[in-house]
Structure 1
Amino acid sequence: MPQIIGGCSLSRAFIDVCINAGRTTSRIENIKPAVAQWLGTLKPTALIVFEATSGCDGILIEALDEGKIAYAHVNPRQAREFAPTLGVLAKTDKVVARVLAQMGQRLPLTLTVPQEPDRDRVPWRGVAGAAGHR
């Protein structure tokens, strides 16, 4: 299991972050330099958990892939249903970040582990089963 588990609540402008489900949260700008700087403070064994948010997660995903840090992209409904098990009723960005960190600690989430760059260049033409795909 990763030593550091971070929960992130994303918006277009900011990312609220909670590490290891602690009481302290921080806020970083949702821009590539700020996200890269924050991820640079984490160990490669870290796990970052965040909700699937339409378009707000692109910078974070790109930076996680570049930094080779594993992440779990969870369904927002799953996070909403998990929160009451912790006695959490309010839904602020800071609270969501803490709930997501706790999900990473307690639930067997499906992780996305960035692949080596060479594996991203797989030629898709001629793949078995692709001929009838239109």
Structure 2
Amino acid sequence: MFNLNSCLGRLHGDRSRMTRTGSMTLPKTYIGVDVAKDWIDVFTASNQRFTRVPNRRDRLTKWAQGLTGDVMLIFEATGRYDRVLIACLEDNDVSYARVNPLRARQFARAAGLLAKTDRLDARILCTMGEALRPERATPIQLHRQRLHDLQARRDDIVNMITAEQNRLSVADDAFITKDIKASIRSLTKRREALQKQINAHIGAHEDLNEQNQRLQSVPGIGPQTACHLMASMPELGQVNRRQIASLVGLAPHASESGLYKGKRAIHGGRPRVRRAMYMAALVAIRWDPHWKAIYGQMRDDGKAAKTAIIAVARRLLVRINAMMKTGTSYQT
């Protein structure tokens, strides 16, 4: 039977011994953090203690300043609730890793822990950090965070417009039809206002403007896809081709066991970026001779249409990653 206390103890002991012998460089202390709207629950591996800190800038800043030694914080990516925490950690140069909540829950289930409480989640995240040793997260730039927020809001408005258009197609009452059309006009104006804000924000920052022009030199990459990449992929140019494909969710994963050889499939990643790259691949296949030929060769080799499109999307992403790394524009 899995025992969390003994596992954590063994991991902490092994880490301490490796640190003393110098055979491996590891953070001295892992800290699991469960983030909620009003507070964070903290579990520290070195002293096996729980702490609750209000999720306010002043209290989090004071707490972060009190962290000593080489520490690594592990917490789930929880949308807006962790933003103040991240800002305080970056201001005080404290290492942290944001993990996928699904991975953290799967780790807990693998440990035989089905219960879910804030304190237990913090402890599980600490153990997960000790076991998996995730890499330090890429620092978030404030102007890219604002671009992400603006683009996300624009996407919300677009989804609302689509929903209203779907309702309009089945509406048969004159008043309801008129009301839906008025709603669509209002939402369209808000979408256009957000797009102006996005364009102005990109133009006001030299790095975003330069990256935007470079991205749009790639076949199939238009303003919206470029914006998604800039806002949601700070790792572009910082990781290798396999890592970037996996981050977006375009890397094929094997499904094999014994003599069984299943089809490889993609899963996980960042869905908005993945959808944007899929549409970019469709455009590139249709209009660019180079990518059209690659797609045609895949189809001739027996690949299904969707599989070939995903493969083109992955190759486009890998090319973009290389461009960002070398600081060059697209070349066939």
TM-score normalised to the size of structure 2?
Answer: 0.36
Map residues 15-34 of structure 1 onto 2, 5 A cutoff: 15-20=40-45, 23-34=48-59
Structure number with the higher helix fraction is 2
Q: Report the CA distance between 1:68 and its aligned residue.
A: 1.0
User: SS state of the match for residue 43, structure 1?
Assistant: coil
Determine if the alignment matches structure 1 residue 60 to structure 2 residue 85.
yes
In structure 2, the residue matched to 1:129 is 214
Task: Give the Cα separation in 2 of the matches to 1:114 and 1:69.
Answer: 11
Determine if the alignment matches structure 1 residue 111 to structure 2 residue 136.
yes
Map residues 68-83 of structure 1 onto 2, 5 A cutoff: 68-83=93-108
Amino acid at match of 2:118: D
Q: Report the CA distance between 1:113 and its aligned residue.
A: 5.1
**Contact 2:28-2:69 at 8 Å conserved across structures:** no
Q: Report the CA distance between 1:59 and its aligned residue.
A: 0.6
The root-mean-square deviation of aligned C-alpha atoms, in Å, is: 2.3
* CA displacement 1:68-103 (0-9 Å, x = unmatched): 111110011101000133332211000000000111
Q: Report the CA distance between 1:112 and its aligned residue.
A: 1.1
Q: Report the CA distance between 1:124 and its aligned residue.
A: 2.9
Gaps of 5+ in 2: 1-25, 141-204, 224-332
In structure 1, the residue matched to 2:304 is none
TM-score normalised to the size of structure 1?
Answer: 0.84
Structure number with the higher strand fraction is 1
In structure 2, the residue matched to 1:94 is 119
Task: Give the Cα separation in 2 of the matches to 1:68 and 1:24.
Answer: 23
Higher RCO (Cα < 8 Å, 6 or more apart): 1
Corresponding residue pairs, total: 130
Question: For structure 1, which segment, 3-12 or 43-52, has the greater mean C-alpha deviation from structure 2 after superposition?
Answer: 43-52
- Bigger Rg, structure 1 or 2: 2
Counterparts in 2 of 1:21 and 1:3: CA distance versus 1, 3 Å = closer
